[in-house]
Structure 1
């Protein structure tokens, strides 16, 4: 059998695949253990099976929505009609009933809501996984985490803004006095808060800061040592 496949082989890659398959089959027949050295299992970066199933459901639902919209627009090709009938399988909906257009709209809305729910489920998992990986990386290699959080500089393609116009713009926002009319509700809130005792002022000394960051590693402390270690 192996000779037949080798004679039909057209290139070296196909011959290599045939020999590898034959060797693998022999090892399984005799019960020999296969070494996994040099192979990448990809378990850490593999997509979970449940996420793959949800993505397949989303793809099928989007395709079904497209077919239903085509039928609602007047497309009555046999393939489209079969898909619409499958969409209403198990229900009492018939394509000949007077309110079929309303039923189509309701079915399309249900599919859209399902797609939105599935997408939120994937988004929640992705956000949770990202937070978990960032927290774990913060504990093991802070410098690598900081580099991963850096945003690439994107240079603009338009003209460079004039310095004088930029200064005048921000000065007009922050330096010019403006009288705001907030309405009578601010007076009501102020009268309600008049009886609240203000908190005593808190004075933070350099000794307080030194005591707070004394036990923290340099990368985690907000002092100059941490910044110096980060940029190194």
Structure 2
């Protein structure tokens, strides 16, 4: 699949991947709505998951497409962050956003929580 160039919406300065087969408006709205629903779902999931059971979020490559996804999600976070009451809730929102980015770009996220896997692993110093 060929990576499409990211167009920037001048009104909001939000880059979005646009399908070159149409005028861009419909694809842009669908893409933003998909991102918004993925973000909402990830935040709600993160809020209900204890910290020790959250998955590990991997580092992502700094490609143009990945940066465009992050730039598109940033303005959506403002509403959630303004309503945040404390640091724990802010943490859940930001972790949910990181999880949403991974899901949108198709990066596999470990389903095992942080507490599992490390307790039985042999420490690096002993190997």
* TM-score greater than 0.5 by the shorter chain: no
Task: Return the structure number with greater strand share.
Answer: 2
Give the structure with the larger helix fraction: 1
TM-score (norm 2): 0.28
Greater RCO (CA < 8 Å, at least 6 residues apart): 2
Larger radius of gyration: 1
